[in-house]
Amino acid sequence: MLPPLNVYDQQPRYFEIFNRGDTPFQFHLETDSPWLQLTQSGGTIQQEQRIWVNVDWATIPRDATKGTVTVSDPDGRRRIIINVPILNPASPQRDALDGFVETDGWVSIEAEHFTGKSEGESIHWVRLPDFGRTLSAMTTFPVNAAAQRITAGSPHLDYKMYLFHTGEVSVDAYLAPTQKFQPGEGLRYGISFDEEVPQVINLHSDYSQAEWERSVRDAVRVISSRHKLANPGYHILKFWALDPGIVLEKLVVNTGKTRPSYLGPPESFRNRL
């Protein structure tokens, strides 16, 4: 099974046919749907060949949820069927989408791509270009500002998204491994969906030697929180600034089982109206 093709980012997927011996062999490809596109229909494999799979989004039926690609030898005696999941919902339409959208069980967001922000009288948000492992980061200045309390107007970043799933979801916050340079328990931030009471997360709640070594080795700390959503549709994820020194690099909302990777999933499709 290939990773799903979706109407939002419209990125192709691929599979590879490779030779396990020294003798070249021929192959043939066919699909079960005219809107499923392949970079070639057959050929000869000397060593290996990458086949790209895409969708003609202008002609695909709205109710289509999957397709198949059949790989066979020229006489059809040996066949392998590859399933191709399709995400092409009737709503929201790609051009009408406002914010990020869930695909393949997650929403991945670079910190600088917030859809709204709130700043206090004494602190403000600052983008740190090229900071972190993927794009950039967001933090608050000045670094010697007093700790903030969560109120309706407290400094926070908003990330609007459309989710197809309900129930329990998790949010992974990718943060710089900042040292605990202030007295007290550790550096804190808040995180919440919509109007729920924000969860206050302590970046240094686990400050063991092993955890410190891991954060230095990976140059990031990933801290998860869990939330419950009653309905599908639009939601706003809020990241609240409490203590100065917190540096946010990325947020990943998991509604399914995200495939593990060192950098996390690539950023999800977003649209700004």
Q: What is the pLDDT of residues 67-87, one digit of tens each?
A: 999 999 888 788 999 999 999
Whether 212 shows a pLDDT value over 90: the answer reads no
Average pLDDT over residues 241-270: 92
**Per-residue pLDDT, 50:** 97
Please report which residue ranges of the chain form alpha helices under DSSP H. 209-218
Task: Give the C-alpha separation, 48 to 71, whole Å.
Answer: 14
Whether 8 shows a pLDDT value over 90: the answer reads yes
Average pLDDT over residues 178-201: 88
One-character DSSP codes across 184-237? SS--EEEEEETTSPPEEEETTSS--HHHHHHHHHHT-EEEEEEEEESSSEEEEE
Compute the C-alpha angle 125/265/199, nearest 5°: 50
**Per-residue pLDDT, 33:** 93
Beta bridge partner(s), residue 28: 42, 72
Whether 223 shows a pLDDT value over 90: the answer reads yes
**Per-residue pLDDT, 65:** 93
Exposed, middle or buried, 86 (CB in 10 Å: 0-12/13-18/19+)?
A: buried
Task: Give the C-alpha separation, 35 to 267, whole Å.
Answer: 26
Residues 242/147, Cβ–Cβ less than 8 Å: yes
Kindly list the distances between the CA atom of residue 154 and the CA atoms of 118, 147, 194, 243, 268, in Å, as whole numbers in the listed order.
7, 11, 15, 12, 27
Average pLDDT over residues 10-38: 95
**Per-residue pLDDT, 60:** 95
For residue range 139-167, list pLDDT tens digits in order.
999 988 888 888 877 899 999 999 999 99
For residue range 92-103, list pLDDT tens digits in order.
999 999 999 999
**Per-residue pLDDT, 253:** 97
| 182 pLDDT tier (thresholds 50, 70, 90) | confident
**Per-residue pLDDT, 238:** 97
| 196 pLDDT tier (thresholds 50, 70, 90) | very high
Whether 31 shows a pLDDT value over 80: the answer reads yes
Whether 41 shows a pLDDT value over 90: the answer reads yes
Domains of the chain: 5-87 (2.60.40.10), 96-271 (2.60.120.1620)
Q: What percent of the chain has pLDDT over 90?
A: 76
Q: What is the mean pLDDT of the chain?
A: 93
Average pLDDT over residues 169-192: 89
